[in-house]
Amino acid sequence: MAQKGDLMTARSDIRVLDATIRDGGLVNNFMFTDDFINALYRTNVKAGIDVMEFGYKASKELFDVNKFGKWKFCDEESIRSIVGDNNSDMKISVMADVGRCDYKKDIIDRKDSVIDIIRVATYVHQMPAAIEMIEDAKNKGYTVTCNIMAISNAKEADIDQALEMVGKSGADGIYIVDSYGALYPEQIRAVADKYLEVADKYGMFIGMHAHNNQQLAFANTIEAAARGVSYLDATMMSMGRGAGNCAMELLLNFLKNPKYNVFPVLKFLEEHMLPLKESGAVWGYDIPYLLTGRLNQHPSAAIDFTKEKRTDYAAFYTDLLDK
């Protein structure tokens, strides 16, 4: 495929999604203050962000509501307490994990909800369950995406089949998700071309969700965009599990559409993200995440290593190689 767009012009199909609460919530068990969430919502509206993700629709039977902040569950009234009826141009999304969401009960009809977009997160081996969730959300009236996670660990033939299944499901979009931060720009371009072919066939859009294990989250996001990927995930100060995600401040500075405004984001970083970091929340590129990313492993070992404040990188790498 040819490059789409260039460095001088704006692409009208680009949509920026702020995933700070959802992926960042994996860092602090979603224990954000209402003040933080309120400020984030108002910042995103001012900055011209297209979609704000409030968190997960997690099952209250599987997860103890006392052990997590409310954004792991995203009750309708929790979101409405921040956004009212969301009288803004910005859409609201939540993520629903296959096998961890009582979607039949917890996802209500869109006409009764302030949520616009349901993002169904699935591993490639869970596709039949994902398709049921996609169809349920479509029938309820939502815009629906399928976020196939950890593709660096999946067989290409399985991904091909999964893409076809999503295409036929009626979903509106598919996300490239580099959960382990393992993929290089060269691979992202090839994956993007593959996904975009399916998107063209079924009239869908493609999104990109990157992790920063190898300091490639921003690079991979803009390289995917240059192939034609249009939904771009980013988080404030790159807050997200492990090495974090594509930083919103990098992405907004890159995009040329004058509707985006980085100033409110910079204000939010100094007023809310720095205090959050100082309060002890730990995320972002560091050597242990580079090593799990390079070895195409889940970052959990690196997260533990970091929590224990260990710095014996070479011994850690030896351990990883033994796994």
* Contact residue for its own copies among 250, 259, 281, 296 (CB under 8 A): 250
Q: Does 216 bind its own copies (CB under 8 A)?
A: yes
* Contact residue for its own copies among 2, 7, 8, 157 (CB under 8 A): 7
Provide, rounded to whole angstroms, the least separation between the CB of residue 218 and its own copies: 5
Q: Does 234 bind its own copies (CB under 8 A)?
A: no
Burial state string for 210-231 with b = 16 or more CB within 10 A and e = fewer than 16: bbbbbebbbbbbbbbbbbbbbb
The token pair at 6 is 């260039």
Q: Pick the stretch among 23-31, 35-43, 68-76, 212-220 that binds its own copies (CB under 8 A).
A: 212-220
Q: Pick the stretch among 70-78, 91-99, 168-176, 215-223 that binds its own copies (CB under 8 A).
A: 215-223
The token pair at 298 is 């889940």
Alpha-carbon span 51 to 75, nearest angstrom: 18
Q: Does 249 bind its own copies (CB under 8 A)?
A: yes
* Contact residue for its own copies among 266, 281, 296, 298 (CB under 8 A): 266
* Contact residue for its own copies among 4, 114, 313, 320 (CB under 8 A): 313
Q: Does 274 bind its own copies (CB under 8 A)?
A: yes
* Contact residue for its own copies among 116, 164, 259, 317 (CB under 8 A): 317
* Contact residue for its own copies among 35, 186, 308, 322 (CB under 8 A): 186
Direct distance between the N- and C-terminal alpha carbons of the chain, in angstroms, rounded to an integer: 38
* Contact residue for its own copies among 96, 177, 206, 290 (CB under 8 A): 290
Spell out, one character per residue from 95 to 124, where the chain touches its own copies: x when CB under 8 A holds, - when not. Answer: ------------------------------
Alpha carbon separation from 63 to 58, 126, 211 (Å, rounded):
7, 20, 25
Angle between helices 185-202 and 156-169 in degrees, nearest 10: 30
Question: What number of other Cβ atoms are within 10 A of residue 186's Cβ?
Answer: 9
* Contact residue for its own copies among 2, 8, 157, 314 (CB under 8 A): 314
Size of the site for its own copies (CB under 8 A): 41
In 3D, which of 9, 10, 13, 29 has the Cα closest to residue 21?
A: 29
Read out DSSP for 53-116?
EEEE---TTTS-TTTS-GGGT--HHHHHHHHTT--SS-EEEEEEETTS--HHHHS--GGG-S--
Alpha-carbon span 125 to 131, nearest angstrom: 12
Q: Does 42 bind its own copies (CB under 8 A)?
A: no
Residues of this chain that interact with its own copies (CB under 8 A) are 3, 7, 184-187, 212, 214-220, 222-223, 226, 237, 247, 249-250, 253-254, 262-263, 266-267, 269-270, 274, 285, 287, 290-291, 294, 311-314, 317-318
